[in-house]
Amino acid sequence: MRGDWHGSISHLWSLAVEEQFYLFWPALILFLPSRLMLRTIVGLILVAPLFRGIGSLLGLNPVAAWVLGPACLDTLGMGALLALVRHSPEQIPVSLRNKSGWLPWIGLILLGGTVAEGQVNGDTPLYLALYDSGAALVAVSLVAKASLGIPGNLGTVLEWRPIAYLGKISYGVYLLHLFVSSAISRVVHQWVDPHDPRYAIPLIIGYVVTTVALASLSWRFLEAPLNELKRFFPYRRPTR
């Protein structure tokens, strides 16, 4: 941990945290009594803002305070909470389920307040503690809506085949986008200044087209064949 970003590989921290989560979360779910599941998930969600805020107050590097595993437990935990609501709703008190509509609004309030704080004072402990929690509340609310289907014109747009295809290859797009922009910038630097505003639009188009093309190839020849292997490991819901 150098406490700084590493150029074109800087986004890979999120994949590292994801893999760490996959190491401990299945064991936790397997051995944890169901009556403790909700309390444990909520407790882990609360760990993250406390870790980011206290870490910042104690002088922990802001990048480290943002990307280390404990700092991401609110975003990961809210996804786990959504899964619990969907698959074991009986574990969620009815009073809490009835108040879930407030979650995106609480998230927007946290986002607005922390962004305003950050604009004035920079990466303060308050900003580091609460910004990601607000974003997670908004994101998990959108995912919950999308999982049930979004009606109306917005749903029609999101079901448009090019948009759906971008969603299908989105992992490859995320994985490759900084590598592509770095490579193209190095190539065009021989002839033009990639930071010159006059070339911004052509370069952006080049970044997007190249990234989508490579992500499509990755999906066709790597990810889709690997996904096909899932047929050898069918999922069966446990009987109660």
213 has pLDDT over 90:
yes
pLDDT value for 5: 75
**Domain spans, the chain:** 1-148, 151-240
Average pLDDT, the chain: 87
Distance CA 126, CA 201 (A): 36
pLDDT value for 1: 52
Percent of the residues in the chain that have a pLDDT greater than 70, as a whole number: 94
135 has pLDDT over 70:
yes
pLDDT in tens, 194-209: 778 888 888 899 999 9
Least confident of 32-46, 86-100, 175-189: 86-100
SS3 42: helix
pLDDT value for 2: 62
Rounded mean pLDDT, 26-41 = 89
Rounded mean pLDDT, 65-92 = 89
Distance of CA 137 to the CA centre of its chain: 12
144 has pLDDT over 90:
no
Q: Give the number of other CB atoms < 10 A from CB of residue 17.
A: 19
What is the number of helices (H) and of strands (E) in the chain? 12, 0
120 has pLDDT over 70:
no
Nearest by Cα to 74 from 151, 159, 139? 139
Residues in Cβ contact with 111 at an 8 Å cutoff, skipping those fewer than 6 apart: 131, 134, 135, 138
104 has pLDDT over 90:
no
**In the 8-state DSSP scheme, what is residue 66?**
H
Rounded mean pLDDT, 96-108 = 81
